[in-house]
């Protein structure tokens, strides 16, 4: 590369080396059994029309630093990128503008690719994938068929979360407080859907978490979502009816404390047992409950319900229990019916209080525990307070051989279950909160199902006709009734079996966006394969993913779904490992400040650093009453720091930052803002400090004429202190990369530059070592400096320098000598001097002698490497 760049011209340097990397396929990688492999994965983005904002590159930068470091440590590194490009936003934009989603998606992908390449990430672009490419979704369809053949995919008539605004079905995980992620109201309605029986893998999904190097919080979220519980199913005879109500409970030992029962509003028996005087009230309540999502019902704090007028018989004591319905009981969990023990369950206690139902205590609270929890024991025993802790059972025996009195909870649960089983009144049961996965969507922009519904009622799979291509359509609006737009693709819709001539109709639903992201990490390993989803031998080499970096918001969506697909593929012998992602790291969010005026409109701004070093808004001012006002309009504003969003007018475009400061400055700033896992506040003007640091790095190596600085030579030698700084920097930066401590690694490199900038002569080898460790963080500048140092090959594969422990040791240290706690002087001593030697050195010093002359030394406190304090009176 003959181009001469004199100053730190970041635009020229960065465009030069980005072109070099692309032209030379610098980061192209193949299977290589002679090297240890390292597979680093970024959660691939959805290519929206707004492009990247500065929050997106945070995780990408972290993974890129690690990948570049691993290459220099001799690893064969797979670092790919692609696009999660199917989905509702593109379809909605197309309906709004009349532009086909394939056109907008291609345009958005091109923009995202440009932005990402301009940030210098070391991706192997030969492995780029796009979930909307038929060469990709052919294999998404193929994997679906493998799950179908294993009996894990079925068509079922189920209650779904239906969004009338977008006219599509949403998974339970996609609904929050009755709204989708855009704030559209969601209602419940029955529809025929494709469903994955993920519940059959509940236990495997739980067990697999134990051996994963994931944040404990993420693993706990998955455990809670799967929600395993061990208990018993118990039969309650209906008073005056031949039917029984079967209840699932994790606490069969509390049967003696049951005072009422609650059914889910959708329970099959509700309409049969409701008395005539309660019918209208029950029907109104059922209608209201059906329009709430399961998650909203679970989290609803307000206790509502209606008495059916019916009663059930408690199997342990023969008491009649009133039967209610309430929306906090879900038909999809357990049996859709519960026995309520209000004395020992917070939710039941609140319900009983709301409707003045009896409360019977059957667990005598542990005195110490109750005192710690602040619960009045007498109130709990009288049924006036809820006790959910430990204690001995009371009031819990009958004439039929069941006596739980005096037992602790762990023992009483076992005894109660055994008694129920022996009497034919119940059975031991394990339940899961996890529900089967609704897998179909009533929209156009998604993967078509490789399924045909034949005229004889059978289902034909199209494994030999893949890919089933998405048809070109002008009208992609879904119907108000919930049918997919594909129902209007009449030419595509009609199917004739080539073997039998039988007619059929193609499946009109499409797959959810999660389909493409469930397995994309596997396609990366063999992206160009047209004969299979991937080569098994290549999969064995690269899998599992060694490091997966992305946001914590995917804890119970993508990560759970991908693990499910992968475990099925493992059971089918298609992949070689049980878990796809061995290590997971969640980066923190980059926050931005926004301001809202009294009219409710968000006013964009940016933070700058004032003369006091404080972050202040660039176009706001803070008055003496601590209120914010717009400098131009004078209107009072409300301040908020939060997620970057176009609707909040607080998005910072990385293109602007790259143009003004450079990609290397952006990369370093995002890593220097704070610990990677923490949320950080974006302050554009703070990038100046990082930019100055990189300018100093350039200036240390390159003179004003664009040549290698004359202070750098092969003959120069380092002082002991400078050599220590070099080796300390090599050691710390390497260790910090391994532990994701990128901010402290950058701080150490700044220390290096501060010290080495003062030297008049620097060994070329020392600067080469520094540029090598700088290269994962600021790769463009490092490549430029490496070339200035006389090298013709890329720095990307240059071996990471080794530090020597002996060069980190100090030969001398400075200690403080005190007499009666008052400083006398500082002295240089041997670093390995022990306490006895320090005493002798201090007592032999003339200044110390003069201070203690005529006094008696009572005591000497010597701390090696720090101080000597002489007590003399």
Backbone angles phi, psi at 753, to 5 degrees: -65, -40
Is residue 185 helix, strand or coil? strand
Question: For residue 613, what pLDDT is reported?
Answer: 62
Q: Are 383 and 360 in contact (CB under 8 A)?
A: yes
pLDDT tens-digit profile of 572-601? Answer: 999 999 999 999 999 999 988 777 777 766
Q: Is pLDDT at 603 greater than 80 in this prediction?
A: no
Range picked from 325-334, 495-504, 811-820 for highest mean pLDDT: 495-504
CATH level 2 (architecture), domain 811-872: Roll (3.10)
Domain residue extents for the chain: 35-142+515-586, 228-432, 590-660, 689-807, 811-872
For residue 845, give every residue at least 6 positions away whose Cβ sits within 8 Å of its Cβ, in sequence order, or none: 817, 825, 827
Torsions phi, psi for 745 (to 5 deg)? -65, -45
What is the rounded CA–CA span in Å between residue 159 and residue 191? 6
CB 274 within 8 A of CB 240: no
Q: H or E segment at 607?
A: strand 607-609
CA-closest candidate to residue 559, choices 589, 522, 517, 523: 517
CATH code given to domain 228-432: 3.90.740.10
DSSP letter at 708 equals B
Stretch 743-753: mean pLDDT? 97
Tens of pLDDT, residues 35-78 = 999 999 999 999 988 899 999 999 999 999 999 999 999 999 99
Helix, strand, or coil here: 125? helix
Task: Give residue 467's pLDDT.
Answer: 98
Does the pLDDT of residue 622 top 60, yes or no? no
pLDDT band at 168; cut points 50, 70, 90: confident
Instruction: Using the Cα atoms of residue 132, residue 135, residue 141 and residue 147 in order, give the sign of their dihedral.
Output: negative
**CA contacts within 13 A on the Cβ side of 516:** 27
- 460 annotated binding-site participant: no
Check pLDDT > 60 for residue 293.
yes
Residues facing residue 643 across a β-bridge: 591
Rounded Cα distance, 830 and 839, in Å: 13
Best CA proximity match to 78, nearest among 90, 86, 70, 87: 70
Nearest of 521, 436, 464, 408 to residue 172 by alpha carbon: 436
Helix (H, G, I), strand (E, B) or coil at 719: coil
pTM here is 0.86
In this prediction, residue 620 has a pLDDT band, given cuts at 50, 70 and 90, of low
In three state form, how does the secondary structure of 602-653 look? EECCCEEECCCCCEEECCEEECCCCCEEECCCCCEEEEEEEECCHHHCCCCC
pLDDT tens for 825-853 read 999 888 888 899 899 899 999 999 998 98
Please give the pLDDT value at position 506.
Answer: 97
Locus of tokens 């023990």 = 341
Q: If one looks up domain 35-142+515-586 in CATH, what number appears?
A: 3.40.50.620
pLDDT at site 97: 87
DSSP conformational letter for 42: E
* Host H or E run for residue 422: helix 409-422
804-843 burial, b if ≥16 CB within 10 A, otherwise e? eeebeeeeeeebebbbeeeebeebebeeebeeeebbebbe
| Residue 798 near residue 785, CB atoms below 8 Å | no
Mean pLDDT across the chain: 91
Using CA atoms, how far residue 660 sits from 11, 146, 665, 683, 687, in Å, is 9, 51, 10, 14, 10
In sequence order, what are the residues at sequence separation of 6 or more whose Cβ sits closer than 8 angstroms to the Cβ of residue 241?
Answer: 272, 273, 310
Residue 511 reports pLDDT greater than 60: yes
CATH 2.40.40 applies to domain 590-660 = no
Provide the strand spans (E) within 433-502. 437-438, 451-454, 459-461, 494-496
Dihedral Cα 779, 785, 787, 788, nearest 10 deg = 170
Read off the pLDDT of each residue in 739-744 and give the average, rounded to a whole number: 97
Q: What is the pLDDT of residue 185?
A: 85
Q: Does the pLDDT value for residue 427 go beyond 80?
A: yes
Q: Give the CATH fold of the 689-807 domain.
A: Isoleucyl-tRNA Synthetase; Domain 1 (1.10.730)
Say how far apart CA 398 and CA 413 lie, in whole Å: 16
Q: Is 300 left (phi over 0), alpha (psi -120 to 50) or beta?
A: beta
Which region, left, alpha or beta, applies to residue 560 given φ > 0 means left and ψ of -120 to 50 means alpha? alpha
Task: Please name the residues in contact with 278: beta carbons below 8 A apart, sequence gap of 6 or more.
Answer: 306, 307, 308, 309
């Amino acid at each position: 590369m003959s181009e001469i760049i004199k100053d730190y011209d970041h635009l020229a340097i960065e465009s030069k080396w980005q072109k070099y990397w692309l032209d030379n396929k610098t980061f192209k990688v193949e299977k290589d059994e002679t090297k240890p492999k390292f597979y680093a994965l970024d959660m691939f983005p959805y290519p929206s029309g707004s492009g990247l904002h500065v929050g997106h590159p945070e995780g990408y930068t972290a993974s890129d630093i690690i990948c570049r470091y691993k290459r220099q440590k001799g690893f064969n590194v797979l670092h790919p990128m692609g696009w999660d490009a199917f989905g509702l936003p593109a379809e909605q934009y197309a309906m709004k503008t009349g532009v086909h989603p394939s056109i907008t998606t291609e345009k958005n992908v091109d923009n995202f690719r440009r932005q990402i390449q301009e940030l210098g990430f070391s991706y192997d672009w030969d492995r780029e994938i796009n979930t909307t490419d038929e060469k990709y979704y052919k294999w998404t369809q193929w994997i679906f068929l493998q799950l179908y053949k294993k009996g894990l995919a079925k068509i079922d008539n189920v209650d779904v979360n239906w969004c009338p605004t977008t006219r599509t079905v949403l998974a339970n995980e996609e609904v929050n407080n009755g709204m989708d992620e855009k704030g559209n109201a969601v209602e419940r309605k029955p529809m025929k859907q494709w469903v994955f029986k993920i519940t059959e893998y509940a236990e495997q999904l739980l067990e697999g978490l134990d051996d994963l190097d994931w944040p404990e919080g993420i693993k706990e979220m998955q455990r809670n979502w799967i929600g395993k519980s061990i208990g018993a199913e118990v039969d309650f005879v209906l008073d005056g009816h031949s039917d029984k109500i079967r209840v699932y409970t994790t606490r069969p030992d509390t049967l003696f404390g049951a005072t009422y029962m609650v059914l889910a509003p959708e329970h099959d028996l509700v309409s049969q047992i409701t008395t005539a005087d309660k019918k209208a009230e029950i029907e109104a309540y059922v209608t209201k409950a059906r329009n709430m999502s399961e998650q909203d019902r679970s989290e609803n704090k307000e206790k509502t319900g209606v008495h059916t007028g019916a009663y059930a018989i408690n199997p342990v004591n023969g008491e009649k229990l009133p039967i209610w319905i309430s929306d906090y009981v879900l038909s999809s969990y357990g049996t859709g019916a519960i026995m309520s023990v209000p004395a020992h369950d917070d939710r039941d206690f609140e319900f009983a209080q709301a409707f003045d139902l009896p409360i019977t205590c059957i667990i005598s609270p542990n005195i110490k525990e109750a005192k710690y929890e602040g619960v009045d024991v007498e109130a709990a025993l009288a049924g006036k307070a809820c006790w959910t802790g430990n204690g001995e059972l009371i009031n819990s025996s009958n004439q039929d051989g069941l006596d739980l009195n005096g037992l602790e909870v762990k023992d009483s649960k076992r005894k109660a279950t055994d008694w129920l089983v022996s009497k034919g009144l119940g059975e031991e049961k394990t339940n899961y909160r996890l529900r089967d996965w609704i897998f179909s969507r009533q929209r156009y922009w998604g993967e078509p199902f490789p399924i045909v519904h034949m005229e004889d009622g059978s289902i034909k799979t199209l494994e030999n006709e893949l890919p089933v291509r998405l048809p070109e359509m002008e009208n992609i609006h879904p119907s108000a009734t919930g049918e997919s737009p594909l129902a209007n693709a009449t030419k595509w819709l009609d199917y004739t079996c080539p073997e039998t001539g039988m007619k059929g109709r193609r499946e009109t639903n499409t797959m959810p966006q999660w389909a493409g992201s469930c397995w994309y990490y596997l396609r990366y390993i063999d992206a160009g394969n047209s004969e299979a989803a991937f080569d098994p031998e290549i999969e064995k080499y690269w899998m599992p993913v060694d490091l997966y970096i992305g946001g914590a918001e995917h804890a119970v969506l993508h990560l759970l779904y991908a693990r499910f697909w992968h475990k099925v593929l493992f059971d089918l012998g298609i992949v070689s490992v049980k878990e796809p992602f061995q290590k997971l790291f969640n980066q923190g969010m980059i926050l931005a400040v926004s301001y809202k005026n009294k009219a409710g409109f968000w006013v964009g701004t940016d933070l700058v650093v004032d003369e006091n070093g404080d972050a202040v808004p660039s176009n706001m001012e803070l008055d003496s009453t601590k209120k914010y006002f717009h400098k131009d309009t004078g209107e009072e504003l409300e301040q908020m720091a939060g997620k970057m969003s176009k609707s909040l007018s607080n998005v910072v475009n990385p293109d602007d930052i790259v143009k003004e400061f450079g990609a290397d400055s952006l990369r370093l700033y995002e890593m220097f803002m704070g610990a990677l896992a923490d949320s950080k506040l974006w302050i554009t003007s703070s990038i100046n400090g990082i930019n100055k640091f990189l300018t100093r790095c350039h200036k240390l190596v390159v003179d004003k004429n664009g040549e290698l600085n004359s202070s750098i030579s092969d003959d120069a030698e380092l002082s002991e202190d400078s050599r220590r700084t070099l080796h300390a920097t090599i050691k710390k930066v390497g260790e910090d990369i391994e532990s994701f401590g990128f901010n402290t690694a950058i701080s150490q490199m700044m220390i290096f530059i501060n010290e080495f900038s003062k030297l008049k002569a620097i060994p070329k080898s020392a600067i080469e070592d520094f540029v090598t460790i700088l290269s994962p963080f600021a790769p463009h500048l490092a490549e430029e400096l490496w070339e200035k140092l006389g090298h013709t090959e890329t720095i990307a594969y240059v071996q990471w320098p080794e530090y020597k422990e002996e060069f980190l040791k100090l030969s001398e240290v400075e200690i403080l000598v005190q007499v009666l706690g008052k400083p006398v002087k500082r002295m240089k001593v041997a670093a390995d001097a022990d306490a006895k030697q320090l005493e002798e050195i201090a007592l032999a010093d003339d200044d110390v002698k003069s201070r203690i002359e005529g006094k008696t030394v009572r005591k000497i406190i010597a701390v090696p490497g720090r101080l000597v304090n002489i007590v003399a009176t």
